[in-house]
Chain A
Amino acid sequence: MSEPIEEFFERLTRGGPDRLPRRADGSLRIDLTSGTTTERWFITMHGGDVSVSHRNAKADSVIRTSKDEFEGMITGRVNAMSAALRGVVSLEGDPTLLMLFQRALPGPPSTAAGQGAAATGRRT
Chain B
Amino acid sequence: MSDGIVKILDGNTFVVSDPRGDIEASLTDPTGLFSFDTRFLSTWVLTVNGQRLNALSVDDLQYFEARFFLVPGTGTVYVDAKLSVIRQRAVGDGFHEELTILNHAEEPIELTVRVDTDSDFADLFEVKDALKKKGTYSTRIDKDGLHLVYERETFVRMTTIAASAPAAIDEKGLTFVVTLEPHDSWTTDLDVVTAAGAGGRFVRPKYRHGERRAQPNMGRSLESWLEEAPRLECDDDRLRATYRRSLVDLAALRFSPLIAGGRSLPAAGLPWFMTMFGRDSILTSLQSLPFTPELAATTLQALGDWQGSRVDDFRDEDPGRILHEMRYGEMTAFEERPHSPYYGCADATPLYVVLLDEYERWTGDRSLVRHREQEARAALAWIDDYADLLGDGYVWYQRRNEETGLENQCWKDSWDSISYRDGRLPGFPRATCELQGYAYDAKVRGARLARLVWNDPAYADRLEKEAADLKRRFNRDFWVAEEGYFALALDAEGHQVDALASNNGHLLWSGIVDKSKAKAVVANLLGPRLFSGWGVRTLAEGEGRYNPIGYHVGTVWPFDNSFIAWGLRRYGFKDEAAMIAEGILDAAGYFEGRLPEAFGGYERSLTKYPVQYPTACSPQAWSTGAPLLLLRTMLGLEPVGEHLVVDAALPRSIGRLELLDIPGRWGRMDAFGRGRVDVEKRRTRGRRRVTSSRQRAAADRA
Contact = CB atoms under 8 A, between A and B. Distances in A.
Contacts of A111: 311-313, 400
A87 interface: yes
A121 interface: yes
B312 A108 contact: yes
B310 A106 contact: yes
A81 B374 contact: no
Nearest to B378: A18
Interface in B281-309: 305-307, 309
Given A99-B259, A99-B306, A85 B332 contact: yes
Interface string A82-121: 1001111000000110011001111110111001111101
Interface in B365-396: 371, 374-375, 378, 384-386, 388-391, 396
A117 B400 contact: yes
Given A82-B340, A121-B390, A112 B310 contact: yes
Interface stretch (B90-98, B314-322, B519-527): B314-322
Contact of B386 (A23, A81, A104, A122): A122
Nearest to B197: A87
A46 to B, nearest CB: 15
Contacts of B400: 111, 116-118
A24 B474 CA distance: 39
Given A23-B371, A105-B310, A118-B318, A82 B334 contact: yes
Interface string B321-362: 000000011001111000011000000000000000000000
Contact of A121 (B156, B305, B328, B389): B389
B453 interface: no
B164 interface: no
A24 to B, nearest CB: 10
A117 B259 contact: no
B574 to A, nearest CB: 41
Nearest to A83: B333
A66 to B, nearest CB: 10
B590 interface: no
B264 interface: no
A18 B310 contact: no
Given A18-B309, A81-B341, A99-B305, A86 B384 contact: no
Contacts of A108: 312-314
B154 interface: yes
A21 interface: yes
Nearest to A112: B311
B165 interface: no
B154 A118 contact: no
A21 B386 contact: no
A123 interface: yes
A111 B317 CA distance: 10
A76 B329 CA distance: 22
A88 B313 CA distance: 23
Nearest to B335: A82
B591 interface: no
Contact of A82 (B153, B197, B333, B385): B333
Q: Which interface class (under 10, 10 to 19, 20 to 34, 35 or more) fits B?
A: 35 or more
B318 to A, nearest CB: 5
A121 B311 contact: no
Contacts of A115: 313
B311 A118 contact: yes
Contact of B259 (A95, A110, A122, A123): A95
B258 interface: yes
B196 interface: yes
Given A111-B311, A117-B400, A121-B390, A85 B340 contact: yes
Given A123-B385, A123-B388, A116 B156 contact: no
Contacts of A14: none
Nearest to A110: B313
Given A79-B340, A107-B317, A111-B311, A121 B388 contact: yes
Given A18-B309, A99-B259, A116-B313, A123 B378 contact: no
A122 B387 CA distance: 8
A53 to B, nearest CB: 25
B155 A85 contact: yes
Interface in A57-86: 76, 79, 81-82, 85-86
Interface in B594-641: none
A22 B319 CA distance: 16
Nearest to A76: B310
Interface string A28-56: 00000000000000000000000000000
A11 to B, nearest CB: 14
Contacts of B389: 117-118, 121
A123 B391 contact: yes
A18 B306 CA distance: 14
A117 B398 contact: yes
Contacts of A87: 154-156, 196-197, 333
Contacts of A116: 311, 313, 400
A116 to B, nearest CB: 5
Per CB-CB distance, the 10 closest pairs between chain A and chain B, nearest first, are A107-B310, A85-B333, A121-B389, A103-B309, A107-B312, A87-B154, A81-B340, A86-B333, A95-B259, A111-B313
21 contacts: A18-B309, A21-B374, A76-B310, A79-B312, A81-B341, A82-B334, A85-B329, A85-B332, A85-B333, A85-B340, A87-B197, A88-B154, A107-B317, A108-B314, A117-B398, A118-B386, A118-B389, A118-B400, A121-B389, A122-B385, A123-B384
Interface of B: 153-156, 196-197, 258-259, 261, 305-307, 309-315, 317-319, 328-329, 332-335, 340-341, 371, 374-375, 378, 384-386, 388-391, 396, 398, 400
Given A82-B333, A111-B400, 14 more contacts: A18-B319, A23-B371, A85-B155, A86-B334, A87-B197, A96-B259, A99-B306, A105-B310, A106-B310, A107-B310, A112-B311, A116-B313, A118-B400, A119-B311
